[in-house]
Copies of this chain bind each other. A is one copy, B any other.
Amino acid sequence: MKDSDIIQLGHGAGGSLQDDLIEFITKTVKIRRVGTGIGLDAFEDGATIPLSAEDADKEIVLSADGHTVFPLRFPGGDLGKLAVCGTVNDLCMMGAHPIALTSAVIVEEGMRAKNLREIMDSFNHTAAEAGVAVITGDTKVMPKGTLQEMIIVTTGIGKKPKNRKILNSNVQAGDKIIVTGSVGDHGIALMAARENIELGCRLESDVAILKPLAEIAFHYSDLHMMKDPTRGGLAAALNEVATKSHVSIWLKEEAIPIKKEVRAVADILGLDPLEIACEGRFIAAVAANQADDLVKALQTHPLGIDTIIIGEARADRKGRVLMETIVGGTRFVDMPLGELIPRIC
């Protein structure tokens, strides 16, 4: 298969054309198996991850994520990078060390092979950067007009110690709430690109592998919750953890990092930056006595340089998120009903 080819229905039909397609989209995968397991290079119907005696105190962690973004390439990333980051980050947010990915790639008939290869190269390079193997997958081709461009669905596999409890339901009253950087960059960069909004500066998606930053955080024994504020943004993420942990979360508006260009585009489009997706940030809840140390540790990594405490969890008004505004009032930050920006992550 060559860059100049066009994807045909036969490329998804289980014959020799499909073998060509699989070889074409996986040839840049760097890590193809886990240990002595069966991996991508075996071309079996699946893959294996060998276990050993030292896994007896561990759990396998799994996270599934469907990715569909329009346009396929956006400032700061593309669908391939997004698909790996989204899934690897979800594993990290559960306290896991990511090991491997499975991927299902669904493509529209008529797609240019070159475009597909570029997205999959980005997928494969991002997986290598994250140190995760791509061990098995699936490809399907849908008839022209029944799918716009392509979808990548990834399942991530990691391992974590059984006694590490980093959960949406584990925030304790008194915990400090931190965020590792500015919010809304991904969603706004995508919308600005889609709507051709001139910014006078380059606004890029924050899409990134959070693994190195998460692994710094794992050292803190009283880290109770980590979550990446993707669809629905900070507002959805905080409401979810407030509800699940039976606490309230009190934010200080002045502390929440929002880039001025993000705020400007959000204003133009009538969007609240707190409801806009990030793809390279996380929020965390940590006991107050470890909060300053954690913040400083995260700031040592380029991805966490802007880490800041944005609020705290309290025992009253369980399930609510409240914000002390810059002008001195207090307002609720509600769960978004559903942000009406499709195909964003």
Interface set of A (CB-CB < 8 Å, partner B): 8-18, 37-38, 42-53, 55-68, 70, 90-91, 93-94, 96, 100, 102-106, 109, 135-143, 145-148, 151, 153, 155-157, 160, 162, 167-169, 227-228, 230-233, 236, 244, 277, 335-343
Given A8-B338, A66-B104, 16 more A-B residue pairs with CB atoms under 8 Å apart are A12-B338, A13-B339, A14-B232, A16-B335, A42-B167, A45-B228, A46-B64, A46-B90, A46-B91, A49-B60, A52-B56, A53-B53, A64-B104, A64-B137, A64-B138, A66-B139
Residue of B nearest to A137 (CB): B64
Scoring A51, A230, A335 by chain B CB atoms within 10 A of each residue's CB, the highest score goes to A51
- How many chain copies does the complex carry? 2
Please give, as numbers and ranges, the residues of chain B lying within 8 Å of A60 by CB-CB distance. Answer: 48-49, 51, 60, 157
Residue in contact with A231 in the complex, picked from B18, B47, B53, CB distance below 8 Å: B18
Across-interface contacts of A13 in B (CB, < 8 A): 231-232, 336, 338-342
A16 close to B47 (CB less than 8 A): no
A140, B79: Cα distance in complex, Å: 15
Interface of A is mostly: mixed
Chain B residues closer than 8 Å to A102, beta-carbon distance: 62-64, 155
A104→B65 contact, CB < 8 A: yes
Is B90 a contact partner of A61 (Cβ separation < 8 A)?
Answer: no
Q: Contacting A59 at CB < 8 Å: which of B50, B167, B339? A: B50
Asked if A51 meets B59 with Cβ closer than 8 Å, knowing A232-B14, A339-B15, the reply is yes
Expressed in whole angstroms, the Cα–Cα distance for A163 and B155 within the complex equals: 26
Closest CB in chain B relative to A86 CB, distance in Å: 9
Pair A48/B55 contact, Cβ less than 8 Å? no
List, in ascending order, chain B residues with CB within 8 A of A155's CB: 62, 64, 102, 155
Chain B residues contacting A236 (CB-CB under 8 Å) are: 14-15
Report if A338-B50 is in contact (Cβ < 8 Å); known contacts: A62-B157, A143-B343. Answer: no
